[in-house]
Amino acid sequence: MATRTFLSLATRLATSVPGCPQPVIVQYVRDAAIEVCERTLSWRYMQPIIRVTPGVYEYPYTNPTGSEVHAFLTATINGEHLEPVTLEQLAGMYPDWPSTAVDKRSDPRLICQIDPDNFVIAPIPDNSKVYDIKMIVALKPLRDSTGMDKTVFDELEDTIMHGALQHLLVLPDKHWSDRELAAYHSKQYLYKTTERRARANIGAARATMTVKMRPFA
């Protein structure tokens, strides 16, 4: 995975925020990149297969360096769908989880993200067979990352630029403060994040999506 640095976008932004130090621009580019990734779920990544250990319900994600998981998009275990649920739903369905007795363990059917680094599965896996989890996740850069996947960054560059500028231009009492321009970039940012999210959702397809009408009753 080729990485592109946030610094590489700084020169493009510099003319819009004259007098703004480069590290400040880079910081806002990184923050915008995180936000754009969260909103569009465009940085998609297939995790290496995770081999489940009997009795172990919590697993760490294995992401590229400098990234963390914002959400998982699909998860299967041995080719079967893992149902994403909230932690409350999981606890409601399996009240004895995670202290399930050994004889009540079985094949996992539910998955829930605990935090950007870890997820849990339920029921607690038994040792009747080998379980392998496949996942596609949506990533975002870490707060101290210096860059992100080049392909994704190239794709989201305009959106990230507008996101960074909308925040930089509303900083109070700076040489470059300009609320009118900030409003312009804010609108562009909103438009582009929506467009990028829709594009990611339909798999970057060109054809119009069709929706089957649901009966009212």
Taking CB under 8 A as the rule, does residue 142 contact another protein? no
Cα distance between residue 123 and residue 108, in whole Å: 5
Binding status of residue 93 toward another protein by CB under 8 A: no
Size of the site for another protein (CB under 8 A): 11
Q: By C-beta, is 23 or 48 nearer to another protein?
A: 23
Q: Please pick, from the candidates 134, 174, 197, 199, the single residue that binds another protein as defined by CB under 8 A.
A: 174
Closest to another protein by CB, 21 vs 60, is 21
164 binds another protein (CB under 8 A): no
Q: What is the identity of the amino acid at 106?
A: S
User: Shortest distance, CB of residue 199 to another protein, whole angstroms?
Assistant: 32
Residue 27 Cβ, how far from another protein at the closest point, in Å?
A: 6
Task: For the chain, report the end-to-end CA distance as a whole number of angstroms.
Answer: 49
Per the DSSP assignment, residues forming a β-bridge with 71 are: 138
What CA–CA distance (Å, rounded) separates 179 from 166? 9
The 175-204 contact track toward another protein, x by CB under 8 A, reads x-----------------------------
How many Å apart are CA 77 and CA 177, to the nearest integer? 52
In the region spanning residues 13 to 52, those forming contacts with another protein, defined by CB under 8 A, are: 14, 19-24, 27
Exposed (0-12), middle (13-18) or buried (19+): which is 213, by Cβ within 10 Å? exposed
- The residues near 185 (Cβ < 8 Å, ≥ 6 apart) are 162, 163, 165, 166, 169
Give the rounded distance of the alpha carbon of 127 from its chain centre. Answer: 32
Nearer to another protein, 104 or 143 (CB): 143
Q: To the nearest whole angstrom, how small is the minimum distance from the Cβ of residue 166 to another protein?
A: 16
Binding positions for another protein, rule: CB under 8 A: 14, 19-24, 27, 171, 174-175
